[in-house]
Amino acid sequence: MTRRKPIATGSDWNFDILESYEQELARLADEYRLDTYPNQIEIITTEQMMDAYASVGMPVGYHHWSFGKQFLAVEQAYRRGQMGLAYELVINSDPCIAYLMEENTLMMQVLVMAHACYGHNSFFKGNYLFRTWTDASSIVDYLVFARKYVAECEERHGVTAVEQLLDACHALQNYGVDRYKRPSPISAEEEVRRQAEREEYLQAQVNTLWRTIPGPRSSDALLGSLDSEEDPLGLHEGGRYPPEPQENLLYFIEKNAPLLAPWQREIVRIVRKLAQYFYPQRQTQVMNEGWASFWHYTLMNRLYDEGLVDEGLMLEFLQSHTAVVSQPGFDSPFYSGINPYALGFAMFSDIKRMCESPTDEDREWFPDTAGGDWLEVVQFAMRNFKDESFIQQFLSPKVMRDLKLFSIVDDDQEEMLEVAAIHDERGYRRIREALAAQYALSLREPNIQVYEADIRGNRSLTLHHVQDRRRPLGRSVYPVIRHLHQLWGFPVRLESIAQDGSVTRRYQWPLPDEEVKE
Amino acid sequence: MTYFIDRRPNAKNKSAVNRQRFLDRYRTHIKRSVEEAVNRRSITDMERGEKVSIPTRDISEPVFQHGTGGRRTIVSPGNKEFIEGDRLRRPGGGGGGGGAGEGSASNQGEGMDEFAFSLSREEFLDFVFDGLELPHLERKALKDLDEVKPVRAGVTRDGVPSRINIVRSMREAYARRIAMRAPIRRALREAQEALDEEESKDPVLRNPSRIAELKAEIERLEKRLEAVPYIDTYDLRYNNLINQPQPSSKAVMFCVMDVSGSMTQAHKDIAKRFFLLLYLFLERNYEKVELVFVRHHTAAKEVDEEEFFYSRETGGTIVSSALSLVDEIITRRYSPSQWNLYVAQASDGDNWDDDSVNCRELLMKKLMPRLQYFTYVEITPHAHQALWEEYETVADEYSDRFAMRQIVEAGDIYPVFRELFKRRAAH
């Protein structure tokens, strides 16, 4: 390979230099068949970066105090030097928006371009979750619509009313996503057009649901019926509503809460839509960061091999890269959980290693992968997995040994913690399973669903919390069901159900002394 | 395809609204912190921001979470000595010690019991002086020429090009064109008719010289018609602005401080801090407030700011000397018809016995009828003396416009200040 002259040396940069590097990166990325959205690279100042951070990665957002809190926290941490700002900030949109901070050195700018504009960008475009759940092309339009709509509501109904509604929605936003079925994609322009229509229509729907005239009596009534003596007309027959438990609490609220005004339903919908947009990101942290780190590492090395960057820049890069993908041990003062960059990078690098120089162990564990075309395999992995399944599928004994993973069982019925598995022959599979479970969103968050809305009785709402291995809900449960009560407008109950189906704990809001039923 | 966009020139305060929302929401918390800060700080140290902490539980955004308990498996990196089946004691405190993943919730919890952030200097002072005002401020005399506001006043014939009223100018031009062209057109029409008549005659009867004459006439008139200018300088109309005098709310604050021997260093310090707070408040909230500093022992003297706060001088006490000096200054320089007059006095209440009566007389007869507001702070831990008692009678008479408070220690300054200047219901 002929070594060319470095495009630039030193740490200063200008737009011409960035563009040259960007072109080189694009050329190399193309060689590796990285399929990306067009890039929109924005150069911003520190303050702007803090703004961007505070709006949780949305380029435009509606106003809410919690973003102000976020901003103050970021600012404070940055001023104190606790946090290096902005390794990268990239937005899943088409074109893909990435931010470069003006204070960064040339090395950082090139690194961030490789990491965000080719790593994350291709992940956004390729991964099945993002392909299924997000509309990269319309998200910015939708955000603009949301911001305008919320601002209009604030003018019409007052800032406080909107703020309280948003507080309540934010408390439930993790439960505002469809996990299994894909909502029909609606473009943002249509969104605005349909909004007014929806407003009227929705309200009519809700009214129909809550109408007091009994419907035709169904012959095979399910549950919840009273004795025929007490209910001779059979008004309480006709089964539970909803007939199936609903996992999407905000969706259920939007469509069924009896008292919400149309604009309130629309805001619930906005929060729900945004939660859905961020849902894939929450499920692919390790993969996303690992993929991006793997590519910045590969691309930077290629730039160096071709002589386009000099040794100084490369050393600076290696130092930065090493810091990012380091994994302190559990007993280190710097330990704060497993570093997704470290785990993801180690796994993707290991896939490449297995393909290029497989060992006997690899052939035994990954007969399909070992010795294959590494580019094919990593692309396949990127496209078709989320954290949980990716770990399940690709975490190799070598990575477990390198990270010295071990698993501990913490059982409140036992006096001591027990080391369940370590990185040895007997432990590999168990560790892999436990680690995958650790990234399963369904296990990370309590499983809570709408069980019943008593539409024929006192309109109370009952939720079921299905306990996972006897784990109870945290103390935040009361404030959250208070918020839920604000949205629903009638008493809200929450029951924790153990594995055997028995109710272990009941929560309700308003607190029992005000509300007497049963 | 890649675009580079330089966003640096864009506004940077995208989060300003959200930040303000946050501050509004936690107003009471922040106010408490600010109050503590004001009492803690030396008053010269007022002009900077402040770090504020709010308990995390008050500002948390709750979501459903797993609590502690049940059975869970935690995978962590960095095993050095454990082998399968080892049993370990639970690390004390929250069970998050060996935890990863789920444990991170409690890890974050550590050391984050307070949500800390910084207020800027502006925000800090906003909170310090929030809800305070000068009582009874009135609109005095209209004659202060400084305060004028340009207002529209029709159109004029002359002005600067930037104020041209295009519609009016074009309308003028159009009218002038009609007016100037009308007689020419009439003459033209007549000439044309004459020509037509002449030409319709039998060829034998035609007068060729008459025709030539008429044609020349028509040509001349058409030229004149064309020569009427489309727009002319005297068509131009300009928007007229005139300066309208505005009623002004001018105010003057007399700061009267006792520097007599009975005022200990601590007393003086408290008095100074009170006045500094007052000074900051006025400087910040009112553009047109003048300050007059008067210090007194046995004799009163008008001094400048620097000398008022920092000079050392001492002697006996005759409070009335200061009051009569204030009265004199008002008569000489600040006519009550134009100025809102305020007096803030600080003293330890130690006065020559027979002078206190004089003070009351002075206040009742001369000062109070002219003043908007008189505040008196007495800095003493001891029982009140004659001056306080005399002032009480004044306070009874002018309960609305005369306020007095006692300050015992530095911590009282800010609360007393707030009480004296808190915003009242519309009067």
- Asked if the structure places residue B200 within a domain, the reply is yes
- Asked if the structure places residue B184 within a domain, the reply is yes
H/E element, A159:
helix A159-171
- B219 lies in which domain range? 161-241
Chains A & B: contacts with CB separation below 8 Å: 280
Maximum Cα–Cα distance for chain B, whole Å? 142
Same domain, B257 and B226: no
Q: Cβ contacts (< 8 Å) between A66 and chain B: which residues?
A: 18, 22, 61
d(CA A297, CA A378): 14
Same domain, B393 and B309: yes
| Interchain pair A407, B65: CB under 8 A | no
| Interchain pair B4, A420: CB under 8 A | no
Nearest C-alpha of chain A: how many angstroms from B131?
Answer: 21
Q: At what angle do helices B413-421 and B27-40 cross, to 10 degrees?
A: 120
Give yes or no for residue A4 having a pLDDT over 70: yes
Q: Is the pTM of this model over 0.80?
A: no
Digit-coded pLDDT (tens) for A442-500: 788 899 999 988 887 888 999 999 988 888 898 889 899 999 999 999 999 999 998 88
Nearest C-alpha of chain A: how many angstroms from B248?
Answer: 34
- Average per-residue pLDDT for chain A: 85
* A404 closest CB neighbour out of B10, B22, B78: B78
Same domain, B173 and B208: yes
| Interchain pair A473, B64: CB under 8 A | yes
| Interchain pair B64, A67: CB under 8 A | no
Give yes or no for residue A194 having a pLDDT over 80: no
Tokens for B324?
């009569």
Same domain, B409 and B290: yes
Q: Cβ contacts (< 8 Å) between B94 and chain A: which residues?
A: none
Judged by a CB distance cut-off of 8 A, whether residue B87 touches chain A is yes
Same domain, B279 and B217: no
Average pLDDT of span B399-422: 84
Q: What 3-state DSSP class applies to B160? A: coil
A462 contacts A452 by C-beta, under 8 angstroms: yes
| Interchain pair A71, B24: CB under 8 A | no
The 10 Å Cβ neighbour count of residue B48 is 12
Digit-coded pLDDT (tens) for A137-148: 888 888 999 999
d(CA A185, CA A191): 10
Digit-coded pLDDT (tens) for B141-169: 544 445 667 888 888 888 888 889 999 99
- Asked if the structure places residue B43 within a domain, the reply is yes
Domains of chain B: total: 3
Same domain, B383 and B403: yes
Mutation for A interface: B76, B104, B112, most A CBs within 10 A: B76
- Asked if the structure places residue B303 within a domain, the reply is yes
pLDDT of residue B97: 38
Any idea what DSSP says for residue A182?
P
d(CA B350, CA B384): 9
Nearest C-alpha of chain B: how many angstroms from A505?
Answer: 13
Same domain, B236 and B257: no
A479 contacts A511 by C-beta, under 8 angstroms: no
ipTM over 0.85? The verdict is no
* B78 closest CB neighbour out of A72, A170, A332: A332
Same domain, B223 and B310: no
- Asked if the structure places residue B328 within a domain, the reply is yes
Last residue of a domain, one of B241, B268, B286: B241
Same domain, B415 and B285: yes
Same domain, B259 and B396: yes
Strand partners, B50: B119
For chain A, the helix, strand and coil percentages under 3-state DSSP, each to the nearest 5: 50, 10, 40
Residue of chain B minimizing CA distance to A438: B101
Q: Cβ contacts (< 8 Å) between A477 and chain B: which residues?
A: 64
- Asked if the structure places residue B177 within a domain, the reply is yes
Give yes or no for residue B364 having a pLDDT over 60: yes
Tokens for A114?
């490789």
d(CA A324, CA A340): 10
* A420 closest CB neighbour out of B1, B19, B73: B73
pLDDT of residue A428: 93
Name the most confidently modeled range: A294-303, A415-424, B110-119, B136-145. Answer: A294-303
* A71 closest CB neighbour out of B6, B18, B24: B18
Average pLDDT of span A262-275: 92
Strand partners, B151: B242
Same domain, B211 and B326: no
| Interchain pair A68, B60: CB under 8 A | no
Judged by a CB distance cut-off of 8 A, whether residue B103 touches chain A is yes
Name the most confidently modeled range: A216-220, B277-281, B301-305, B407-411. Answer: B301-305
Task: Give every CB contact of residue A323 below 8 A, 6+ residues apart in sequence.
Answer: none
Residue of chain A minimizing CA distance to B57: A476
d(CA A394, CA A333): 29
Contacts from B324-327 at CB under 8 Å and sequence distance 24+? B324/B300, B324/B362, B325/B294, B325/B296, B325/B300, B325/B301, B326/B254, B326/B256, B326/B292, B326/B294, B326/B367, B327/B362, B327/B366, B327/B367
Q: Cβ contacts (< 8 Å) between A65 and chain B: which residues?
A: 18, 21-22, 24-25
Per-residue confidence at B22, pLDDT binned at 50, 70, 90?
Answer: confident
| Interchain pair B79, A445: CB under 8 A | no
CATH (domain of B409): 3.40.50.410
B256 contacts B291 by C-beta, under 8 angstroms: no
Q: Cβ contacts (< 8 Å) between A47 and chain B: which residues?
A: 12-13
Same domain, B268 and B356: yes
d(CA A425, CA A417): 22
β-bridge pairing B251-258 and B340-347? parallel
Last residue of a domain, one of B212, B241, B270: B241
pLDDT of residue A509: 83
d(CA B296, CA B321): 7
Last residue of a domain, one of B206, B241, B276: B241
- Asked if the structure places residue B402 within a domain, the reply is yes
- Asked if the structure places residue B151 within a domain, the reply is no
